[in-house]
Amino acid sequence: MHRVFLSIGGNLGDREEYLALTREQIKLHIGEIVSQSDIYESEPWGFSHQRTFLNQVIEVETPLSALCLLDICNKIENQLGRNRLKSVGEYEARTVDIDILLFDSCIYTLPPLIVPHRHLHERMFVMEPLAQIAPKLVHPLLCQTIEELKGLCQDQSKVWKYSRSVKHVEA
């Protein structure tokens, strides 16, 4: 079994519902979720949009290879309404995004897959939840713990724990 860390998030539609559906699809098609961070809310990173993102990091045990994992993550995104209209490297609003942050302590530099994720240590919306569930995990390329990298992260974007909206039910 492989130990992987995935970042999930989105800012379109019912953001909480999309996170729940994403976790459900991950359990069905990828593997057991062994830990998960709180849900965090954050400003868009790399582009401007009026709606904030909900983000979460989950740790999953999977029998899948890294490339198979990437393929299934892309299929889940598509199934949940992700449209990739922009060119590679351009960011946009989305219902769901699944990023492979870490895959065991492996390093992949294949054209469709770069692991560890090349921007994970530069994004506070990733570092905050990852540090919550795996602070002592060592980044295989940077040779520092996630906790140390979070302290060095220069991203000034606002990230805060999500406060679920209270839904009132009338009797």
Single pTM value for the model? 0.90
CA–centroid distance for 131 within its chain = 13
Give tens-digit pLDDT for 53-105: 999 999 999 999 999 999 999 999 999 987 765 544 556 678 999 999 999 99
Cβ contacts of 59 within 8 Å, gap of 6 or more: 3, 4, 5, 33, 34, 35, 36, 133, 134
Give tens-digit pLDDT for 116-148: 999 999 999 999 999 999 999 999 999 999 999
- Where is average pLDDT lowest: 17-21, 45-49, 58-62? 45-49
Calculate the alpha carbon distances from 114 to 102, 108, 141, 148, 156 in Å. 9, 5, 12, 22, 24
Alpha carbon distance 141, 60 (integer Å): 21
